[in-house]
Every structure is written in structure tokens, then in C-alpha cells.
Chains A and B, each alone.
Chain A
């Protein structure tokens, strides 16, 4: 009897699964079309910039720029998520509780540091190239993740945690099976904010010699070539929208699964 009931229940999110992929897929396809198609759209960009010598950015192929852009954002994201979620968990445990106020303050301070300034300050230490921008992104992206991890974990009601303890769950079990699942939508929202902001911010890396999608934009500004700027901006915006909609779908699905959140 439970089996039939289980199946009936499972079918509901399944129906949403089709819709789950639609929007990210749509943006993703659009992104691919742009990356592949821009070199062939010379006519279009020529119309925009009739006087320029060249209207398609050619110093590097767009897919390579896109790849490097994603690598920078991805590397920063992996570190930020590990550090941010880790710190959030550590300071809400009993042993780390002392560090909670400081970490919360530090995280909010992190976003006060403008990424350009961090980038500039990182160059003397890390040299020109990709490392300074990764560092700037890490600092800038840390706050939303730490803040949301803390908020998510603290939002879990004390009574629920007490009940979990009283049922004989070990601290690790409580964290894994109760606190993290309940905090997951909030934490994911933080990661989403962090990553989307960083996709746009990573373009700044082009000013310190990191080659990514910021390159065409900088080249465009310096040469007064709008076509370059648009090419860079378009791909970055599409990348941001793809990832944002992916996170959005993930969040919706998490909420559905934990349909426990009366909103």
C-alpha cells in the first residue's frame, strides 16, 4: 500500500522535471549559438560599427574566452563555497561558537571591499594574470554564502534540533539529515547570488591581464569599438542568465522536495 502511495507522490515532482530543464537549457542553447555564431555575424556588427577596421574580436576564439571565464568563476566558487559553508557550519557548532560574531562581521566587511580595490591590491602580491581576479572574486563572493549559511542554519528551529537530539541522533547525523537539508534552500540562494555577481565581476580581470570574456570589452572601450563590447557583454550576460536560471530551477526543486516550507 505504501508503494502505490509513494509512486503517486513521486509523480508530482516528476511532472515538474521537464520544466526544470527548459529554461536553463534555453539560455544555454542561446549562449552556445552566440559563442559559435558571432564570428559569422560580421554583417550585423559591421552595421553597428561601419568605420572600424575589424568588427569581430579575434585575438582569441570566444569559446576559449568563455572557458577561461567559467574556470575563473568556477575556481573562485569552489573555494568560496567550501570556505563559506565550512565557516558557517563551524561557527554554529558548540566549539566554534566563539568565532560566530567575528566571522559574521568579517563576512559583511568582505563585501565592503570593492572588487577593483581588492584586485589592485592583489596584483603586487600575486602578480598579473588570473590569480588576482580569483582572489578578488573569492573575497567578494564570500559574504552571501557565509551570510546565508548562518541564516539558514540559525533559522532551523531550536525545538527541531532538540527533538533530533532527544531521538538519539548524533551531532553529525543532526547536521547531515536535519540542519543542512532544512538550510539548503537558503544556502543555495546565497551561492546563487555569489556566483551570478561573480560572473559579471570576473570581467574586471581583463584589466590585470587575466584573459577572459572581459577582454573584448576592454579592447572595445580602448579602441572605441562598440561591437567588441557588445560581444563580450552579450556572452557574459547569457552565461549569467543560464547559471541563474539553473540555480532557480534547483531552488524550486529543493523547495518542492522539502515542501515543508510554508511561504
Chain B
């Protein structure tokens, strides 16, 4: 987030100068509500659903309510001041909270109870509105100068509400049906995914830090190591997973000790090795830069005050380097979450299984079931680690 910190903090402008951003976002939402399909319904799992506009899905009272809420948001943005921004935040949260109920209404209108296989899909309009609402949330957070914690709390609350709705009343929703069909499997996949990412990131944090420290000591190592790590990044993740298959299979066949340890050509071992290989570059680079970037003057002052080398490292260099270092952990983790999905192709399990199985069966709801948790996981980790970086930043250090 170093770039974002360099941005001028937008100030609350006095006067009647409208907030163009929110006004345009509201306009986009209105266009999405009326121009795109709100939902789609399909008679069964494989058939592509038929789209339905907002009037069909919500009826005119629902459509009117949605439009009025969005209009209210746009109107509030015309007179920006703290009160109106807070009100706009309230409207955004209200819309977010009402969205699952909209789906319920749509299900009630459109799904024929006589067809047990019939299901309701979320349409492009719904997704766009959801995405734009998140943008509104970001914009409002920046304008109101709230910490990162706020949108996280709001989204957690909204997420809980959605979960409850999905659990209790949204049985028609394709996503929910798909989930009910394989909930155990999904929960296990999430667990596998998290464990894989966690182990891979932990290993690369340890290895990466060690490597960075070694590089600082032995300058010659630095060039070579960066060249190798850079080269590793040019190999597609798919290929790296594939390339590890054969050597590991050979190893487990010929070295019984390794086979007992669970090393094999497919599954977790090649996935872990590849994940660590990819994670090392951002990790090492950020650690190295973080330690290197601490101002020479500060360090000189530290020595001049009589600090020993170890004291200098633990008390000055490391605390000052910590935010950049954590930035490396964040990039690494987010990247690993995505890469782990690819690892499903070599049998490592995780959420990627759902994506690739779904793609194979042309069952898009199943793909969605795999992709959404990955996305949410990535966003959550990103937000959490960003917030942690913010907290750990020593006072006054930019």
C-alpha cells in the first residue's frame, strides 16, 4: 500500500461542489439495474439460464425501491459534507443488506415450485451493482477518512446476513443448491487450500528472510539469487507444477524414506515446492529492499549513540523495515492463494478442484462455488494484512 500512502488524502470540500465519483458510480448502478439481467433461471444444473430483467425479477415496487435508493445515494453526493457522506454510507449498507431479499423475491416470482431442479442464477446486473457498491464503500471510506477496520466490519456484518438468508430462505439459488450438494467437500477444500497456502507462505517467509539476510552479507550471492528467482517467475505456474511431477515420482519410487514421508509425484509435495518457489521472489525482494532502505543516516546515528550491531538490527533496522516486509508477506500470500487453485490440476486438492471440475462438466455454478471463496479469501487476507501493516507502522514513519 506504499503507493496509496503517497496519495494526497482527499479532504472534505466545503461548498456545493458535487462528488463526481459517487455521482458517476450511482449512474452506473442505475444503468446496470435497468440495462442488465438481474437474475437468470435455469430448469436444471447444466442448461444455461434464461435472463430476467429487474421488472420481471422484483416487480415494479422492487424496481422502484432499488432505483430510489441508488438515486438517494447520487443525490447525497451532490452536497458532500460529513453528514451526507455518513448518510450515503448508510444507504450503501442498506442496499447491500436488501440484496439477498431481492433474490428471495425473484425466486418467489420466477421459480416454478413444480420443477425441483429449477434454480435461480445471479445475473450480470446483480454482480455489477454489488461490485460498484464495494467501490462506493471504498470511496466513502476515503472521504470520511475511516480506518480499514470499518469496511471490514461492515462487510463482515453484511456477509453474515447474506449467509443467514442463503441458509434459511434462498434454497432456489443455484449457488446454494450447488453448495448443499457438496458442502462437506467444499469445507474440506477450503481447509486444504488454507493449509497449503499457510504452509507454503510460512516456509517462504523463513527461507526468504534467511536468503535476504545472506544476500546482505554476501554481495555476490545477491545477483545470482535474484537472477534465478526472476527466471523462476517466467516459468508458468502450470508448467512448474507439471515439471515437478516426474522427478518427484521417481524419487518416491526409488527412495523409500521419502515415499513414507508422503512425497509423491502428484499431490501436495510438488504443489508445495512450486508454491514456495514462486513465493520466494516477492518475499526475498521485499525483505531485502526493506532492510536496505532504512536510511543510512539513521543507522549511523544509531552506531554513533553506541548501539551494538545486534541492538541496531533489532531496535532500529527491523522495526523500520517491518511495514515493507509485511507488504512482501501480503503479496506472497495473495499470490499463493491464486496459485494454489492451479495446483488442483496436479491433485493437490483445494478450491481449484471445484473450478476445474466445474469447467470440465460445464457447470458454471460449481465453478462459481470454487472461484468465489478464492476471491473472498484473497480479499480478506489482503485487507487483514494491510490493516496489520498499518497498525505496525511506527508512529510518524511514512
Direct contact of A and B (CB under 8 A): yes
Q: Which residues of A contact B (CB under 8 A)?
A: 98-102, 104-106, 108-109, 111-117, 120-121, 123-125, 147, 150-151, 154, 196-197, 199-204, 206-208, 214, 217-218, 220-221, 224, 226, 229-230, 232-233, 236-237, 240-241, 244
B243→A236 contact, CB < 8 A:
no
Q: How far is B138's CA from A106's CA once the two chains are assembled, in angstroms?
A: 9
B356→A232 contact, CB < 8 A:
no
Verify if B186 is at the interface (C-beta below 8 Å from A).
no
Question: Smallest CB–CB gap between B40 and chain A, Å?
Answer: 10
Verify if B118 is at the interface (C-beta below 8 Å from A).
no
Query: Which residue of the partner chain, among B239, B240, B341, B367, contacts A114 with CB atoms under 8 Å?
Result: B341
B374→A104 contact, CB < 8 A:
no
Query: Which residue of the partner chain, among A147, A208, A233, contacts B3 with CB atoms under 8 Å?
Result: A147
Q: How far is B237's CA from A240's CA once the two chains are assembled, in angstroms?
A: 13
Query: Which residue of the partner chain, among A102, A114, A214, contacts B139 with CB atoms under 8 Å?
Result: A102
Q: How far is B3's CA from A151's CA once the two chains are assembled, in angstroms?
A: 7
B358→A200 contact, CB < 8 A:
no
A108→B1 contact, CB < 8 A:
yes
Query: Which residue of the partner chain, among A116, A202, A237, contacts B235 with CB atoms under 8 Å?
Result: A237
B338→A114 contact, CB < 8 A:
yes
230-253 of chain B: CB within 8 A of chain A: 231, 233-243, 245-246
Verify if B7 is at the interface (C-beta below 8 Å from A).
yes
Verify if B370 is at the interface (C-beta below 8 Å from A).
yes
B236→A217 contact, CB < 8 A:
yes
Q: How far is B245's CA from A222's CA once the two chains are assembled, in angstroms?
A: 11
124-153 of chain B: CB within 8 A of chain A: 124, 135, 138-139, 142
349-387 of chain B: CB within 8 A of chain A: 352, 355-356, 358-359, 364, 367-368, 370-372, 374-375, 378-379, 382
Main secondary structure of the interface of B (DSSP, over half): helix
Verify if B4 is at the interface (C-beta below 8 Å from A).
yes
Residues of A within 8 A of B4 (CB): 101, 104-105, 108
Q: List 13 A-B contacts (CB under 8 A).
A: A98-B20, A116-B374, A117-B338, A120-B368, A121-B367, A125-B124, A197-B233, A200-B235, A204-B238, A206-B238, A207-B356, A207-B359, A237-B239
Q: Which residues of B contact A (CB under 8 A)?
A: 1, 3-4, 6-8, 10, 19-21, 124, 135, 138-139, 142, 231, 233-243, 245-246, 334, 337-339, 341-342, 345-346, 352, 355-356, 358-359, 364, 367-368, 370-372, 374-375, 378-379, 382
A114→B375 contact, CB < 8 A:
yes
Residues of A within 8 A of B375 (CB): 113-114, 117, 121
B341→A236 contact, CB < 8 A:
no
A116→B239 contact, CB < 8 A:
no
A108→B3 contact, CB < 8 A:
yes
Residues of A within 8 A of B345 (CB): 207, 218, 221
Residue on B nearest A206 in the bound complex, by CB: B238
Query: Which residue of the partner chain, among B8, B21, B364, contacts A102 with CB atoms under 8 Å?
Result: B21
Question: Smallest CB–CB gap between B332 and chain A, Å?
Answer: 12
Residues of B within 8 A of A123 (CB): 359, 364, 367
Q: How far is B197's CA from A114's CA once the two chains are assembled, in angstroms?
A: 13
Question: Smallest CB–CB gap between B93 and chain A, Å?
Answer: 18
Q: How far is B31's CA from A75's CA once the two chains are assembled, in angstroms?
A: 28
Question: Smallest CB–CB gap between A118 and chain B, Å?
Answer: 8
Question: Smallest CB–CB gap between B171 and chain A, Å?
Answer: 21
Residues of B within 8 A of A230 (CB): 243
B358→A120 contact, CB < 8 A:
yes
Known A-B contacts A207-B345, A217-B242; the reply to A112 vs B378 at CB < 8 A is yes
Known A-B contacts A101-B139, A217-B242; the reply to A241 vs B234 at CB < 8 A is yes
Known A-B contacts A99-B21, A113-B375, A229-B239; the reply to A196 vs B234 at CB < 8 A is yes
B334→A121 contact, CB < 8 A:
no
A114→B337 contact, CB < 8 A:
yes
Q: How far is B334's CA from A170's CA once the two chains are assembled, in angstroms?
A: 43
Residue on B nearest A202 in the bound complex, by CB: B236
Query: Which residue of the partner chain, among B142, B238, B246, B367, contacts A124 with CB atoms under 8 Å?
Result: B367
Residues of B within 8 A of A98 (CB): 10, 19-21
Question: Smallest CB–CB gap between B162 and chain A, Å?
Answer: 18
The 4 lowest CB-CB distance pairs between A and B, nearest first, are A114-B338, A233-B239, A229-B242, A240-B234
Residues of A within 8 A of B246 (CB): 226
Question: Smallest CB–CB gap between A84 and chain B, Å?
Answer: 14
Q: How far is B19's CA from A215's CA once the two chains are assembled, in angstroms?
A: 48
Query: Which residue of the partner chain, among A104, A207, A226, A237, contacts B242 with CB atoms under 8 Å?
Result: A226
Question: Smallest CB–CB gap between B167 and chain A, Å?
Answer: 23
B236→A120 contact, CB < 8 A:
no
Residue on B nearest A125 in the bound complex, by CB: B124
Question: Smallest CB–CB gap between B134 and chain A, Å?
Answer: 9
Q: How far is B3's CA from A78's CA once the two chains are assembled, in angstroms?
A: 24
Q: How far is B237's CA from A237's CA once the two chains are assembled, in angstroms?
A: 11
Residues of A within 8 A of B239 (CB): 203, 217, 229, 232-233, 236-237
Residues of B within 8 A of A224 (CB): 245
Residue on A nearest B375 in the bound complex, by CB: A117
Known A-B contacts A105-B142, A232-B239, A233-B242; the reply to A112 vs B379 at CB < 8 A is yes
